Amino acid sequence: HSAALGGHAEVIGLLLDRQAGVDVTSRACKTALHMVASCGHAAVTDMLVRRGADVLVQTGYGSTALDVARQEDPDGQCAKIITDEVLRRLRESEETTAELSKRLANNDVTRRHLCAQLGQQGEAVAA
């Protein structure tokens, strides 16, 4: 997680190449994706997403990486990368809107943001 906070893409890439878990959580229940998104490290956010990071893992407080990025990323690039990944997964049917809604049951902020991005399909997420 130190590499994530520092935005050290090369180190993170090596760790992932050596089978480090992309969704391992810290004591605060944050993944590397939460950490890079909070620091605005867009390139590393993109790498983690491409390497299979679960974009909807929630911290102990119920925050997703998207929540963190929307609150703390100064230029919004990390939030865009994460939102695009959620939309891609829905388009490719890796996750249905019902499954997505269930995973976000206690996270109204992320649900509202995704509903706005999804338009009509987002109504199922909001339900």
Q: Which CATH number is 92's domain given?
A: 1.25.40.20
| Predicted local distance difference test score (pLDDT) of residue 45 | 94
Please say whether the dihedral angle defined by the alpha carbons of residues 108, 114, 120 and 125, taken in this order, is positive or negative. Answer: negative
Enclosing domain of residue 44: 2-126
Task: Please give the tally of structural domains in the chain.
Answer: 1
| Predicted local distance difference test score (pLDDT) of residue 126 | 47
State pLDDT tens for residues 55-70.
888 888 888 898 899 8
Q: Measuring CA to CA, which residue among 33, 25, 90 is closest to residue 67? A: 33
Rounded distance, CA 26 to CA 34, Å?
10
Quote the mean pLDDT of the chain: 75
Q: How far apart are the first and last CA of the chain?
A: 35
Look at residue 90 and tell me whether its pLDDT is greater than 70.
Answer: yes
Residue predicted with more confidence, 81 or 86 = 81
Q: What are phi and psi of 104, to 5 degrees?
A: -105, 20
